[in-house]
Amino acid sequence: MYIRRDIFQAIADPTRRAIITLIAFQTMTPNAIAEHFDITRQAVSKHLRILTECELVKQQSEGREIYYQLQINKMKEIDKWLDQFRKIWETRYSQLDTLLANIKDKKKK
């Protein structure tokens, strides 16, 4: 049984973000993932468990191996949340561009 964890709790850890980046390009086994880090295989398994509980990654069994793959739809949830802030900053940058253009025009006159 999985504990329901928050997606943002999962991505708060830099190791988990690095794992997400690794498996975004290809499915990988826990051992293959662990080779990229200076931590124990058990620590990698703990990070994978948290990512799985948040449904950011999915396990897929092939024979005796378990592969982990990124669940892109969950990443879209993060992007959707961030989009509200992206829109705010785009508006602010646009306002700043307008202000700077007005200042520049006044200096020319």
Is the domain of 102 the same as that of 77?
Answer: yes
Residues 50 and 76 in one domain: no
pLDDT digits (tens, 9 = 90+) for 12-61: 999 999 999 999 999 999 999 999 999 999 999 999 999 999 999 999 99
Do 13 and 38 belong to one domain?
yes
Please state, in angstroms and rounded to a whole number, the distance separating the CA atoms of residues 106 and 101: 9
Domain that holds residue 79: 72-109
**CATH of residue 41:** 1.10.10.10
Query: pTM of the entire structure?
Result: 0.73
Co-location of 54 and 76 in the same domain: no
